[in-house]
Amino acid sequence: MTGQRIGGRELRGAARKAERMSEEDLNGPGVRVGGWVPPLTGSHPRTFPQHVPAPGPEPSVPPDPGDPVLIASHRRRTPWVGLAVLAVVALAGAVALHQGQADRRPRFGMPGTVILPSGAPLSAVPYLPPPPTETVAATTAPPSRPAVTAQVRRPLPTRSTRPSPAGPPVGTPSPPARSLTVGATVGLEPAGRPGSRVRHRDFVARIDRIGPGSTRRDRADAAFVVRGGLADPRCVSLESVNYPRHFLRHQNFTLRLHPRDRSALYAADATFCPVRTRDGHSLTLRSVNYPDRYLSDAGPVLRLLPAARQAPTTFQVRRPV
């Protein structure tokens, strides 16, 4: 009996202790107004579970290309898209055709007015007079009618400012002799020595007897084509007949036959200015780059010598033999 009482006391004491603990739990900071919060598990009795975020929207799934509904929608839409594209192309072609026809229409304007393309405003510019021209009056008057004057326009002469490759010649050369015509084939005969001609032999100029009985080669060596001066168009250059593009030029003051090159020195060495004598039937040949030197017969070759040292050789222009 004693042990049962003791056990009963212990039970009653334990029940009271549990009641006190329940009251403390209800009045503690972890109690929410309006109900009982069950005890928490874990090492800390006052820890509450974390907030769980709400689930997001489900990921979108791309449409299936093989879906029958999607294929039918595309088939119904394709013809209308094609018709819209054709309509836009036709409209652009009509606009371009109309613009081209408008550009080809003739445009007329008054003098001094510039007609701009279609769509641009018209603007007037001041009228500029034509360049000055020389007016020559040609008068034709029949006996019974008044004179009629016609205006003939000629361009004003222009002066070339391009210098000569070898520099301007000293002094004013005499004009070429009338019989020394550019483009003509001639022979040069020393005055007072009939039957003799200037010819090239072994590409050196000399004076030999050339006549109808001479060989064909000798007669060809004594023929030259008159060309405009390579260094001065007022003078002349002599081109060989049997050696085209070979001109007589002086080198070391000796007259030779050399092929033409594009140098200014060659052009000056191959240019000679004809100077007529007083009787007008003969001429001398003066160098363009050595104005004080003339062609002279120094035997057996032709040389370029100063006039103060030796009298220049005079030549008469003849037809080729």
Supply 135's token pair: 């007016």
Nearby residues of 254 by Cβ (< 8 Å), 6 or more positions away: 204, 301, 302, 303, 304
User: Distance from CA of residue 224 to its chain's centroid?
Assistant: 43
Using the structure block, give the residue that is written with the tokens 């009653």.
12
Question: What is the tens place of the pLDDT at every residue in 256-292?
Answer: 999 999 999 999 999 999 999 888 889 999 999 999 9
Mean pLDDT confidence for 287-307: 94
Euclidean distance between CA atoms 178 and 295, whole angstroms: 19
Supply 81's token pair: 């898209």
Is 83 exposed, middle or buried, given 0-12, 13-18 or 19+ CB atoms closer than 10 A?
Answer: exposed
Task: Give exposure, 130-161, as e/b (b: 16+ Cβ within 10 Å).
Answer: eeeeeeeeeeeeeeeeeeeeeeeeeeeeeeee
Higher pLDDT, 102 or 235: 235
pLDDT at residue 4, as a whole number: 47
For 127-133, the CB contacts below 8 A with 24+ separation are: 132/156
Residue 165's CB is within 10 A of a number of other CB atoms, namely 17
- Is the Cβ–Cβ distance between 219 and 321 less than 8 Å? yes
User: What are the structural domains of the chain?
Assistant: 185-318 (2.80.10.50)
pLDDT at residue 317, as a whole number: 95
Q: Where are the beta strands (DSSP E) in the chain?
A: 113-114, 123-124, 134-140, 148-154, 185-190, 196-201, 204-209, 224-228, 236-240, 246-251, 254-259, 272-276, 283-287, 293-297, 302-306, 315-318
Question: What is the tens place of the pLDDT at every residue in 27-74?
Answer: 555 445 545 555 555 544 555 455 555 555 555 556 666 666 666 666
pLDDT at residue 94, as a whole number: 82
Nearby residues of 311 by Cβ (< 8 Å), 6 or more positions away: 296
pTM: 0.47
DSSP H helices in 28-115: 68-104
